[in-house]
A and B are shown apart, each in its own frame.
Chain A
Amino acid sequence: MASQIGVGKCWGFKDDEQPPYPTIELTVSSADRKATISPKVDTGFNGSLAIGREAVRKMRLTARGTVLIRAATGHSEVPVYAVKIHQPDLALSLTTLAIGTERSLAGRKLLENRTWLLDCERRRFCITTPKSATNRLLRQATRFSRELQGRGSKIRRASKRSQDR
């Protein structure tokens, strides 16, 4: 399987807890403020984004409601915020609800429909690209390079002929 995929954009692990954990980088904006956050990738979270208290405070987000969530410790009620998420490497730009939690989390709803590489050895979390697409790009690049070399040879020959005359 590993030989069938190529590796695209990667994000590093954070090591403020052990073992280190994967993150991705997102730009989150409200009506008048913007912040770049690195939420923990949490496959145990079935939503899209949980935004940490610090980011809520920095962005001065106003709650648009409260919802009940289920956590490991039981049910709890959390605020929800309307935010725009922007992540160019994922071609992601959408307005969604983020729940307010202690720390920022990227959930399964953000991860779905993509293939990811969780590389704990190199401490990186990456988007993968189909190998066929990578190979197609390589073939195109090779063809283009040969074409350029061919044109270069023709120019050199034409230039030599011109000098000989």
Chain B
Amino acid sequence: MVREIVLRGGEEKEELLEALGLHSKFLGQYVALRGFSVVDHDADLYRLAERIFPDTEAQDDLVITNVGTPKKILTVEI
């Protein structure tokens, strides 16, 4: 369920992350969730991904997202 909500994004995702208490602990970071549990977190998306997805096949049950506005936000200037 968490995975589906995160993939849909938007307000529903923000409400879920708030309800899980993640805003108070991980605001501005990226988190990896398995179900309702945070399995890892990092301010840098790529550093987190290196640990969570060492290859393209692993960890199908994990989902990555940001909590609030990331401190190290990805910027695309087009």
- Give chain A's interface residues, CB within 8 Å of chain B: 29-31, 42, 44-48, 50, 63-72, 75, 77, 79-80, 82-84, 95-97, 99, 101, 105, 107, 109
Q: Interface majority SS on A: helix, strand, loop or mixed?
A: strand
Q: What 8 A-B pairs have minimum CB-CB distances, sorted nearest first? A: A44-B77, A65-B64, A82-B53, A77-B9, A97-B49, A66-B9, A69-B74, A31-B57
Q: Are B53's CB and A95's CB within 8 A?
A: yes
A residues in contact with B78, CB < 8 Å: 42, 44-45, 71-72, 105
Q: Are B30's CB and A64's CB within 8 A?
A: no
B residues in contact with A84, CB < 8 Å: 55-56
Question: Across the A-B interface, how many residue pairs have beta carbons closer than 8 Å?
Answer: 100
Interface string of B58-78 (1 = CB under 8 A from A): 000011111001100111111
A residues in contact with B50, CB < 8 Å: 95-96
Q: Are B56's CB and A30's CB within 8 A?
A: yes
Residue in B8, B9, B45, B76 whose beta carbon sits within 8 Å of that of A97 in the complex: B45
B residues in contact with A105, CB < 8 Å: 76, 78
* Complex Cα–Cα for A82 and B46 (A): 11
Q: A44-B77, A69-B75, A71-B76 are in contact. List 15 more A-B contacts (CB 8 A).
A: A31-B56, A42-B77, A45-B74, A65-B65, A70-B74, A70-B75, A75-B69, A77-B10, A77-B13, A80-B45, A80-B49, A80-B64, A95-B50, A95-B53, A101-B76
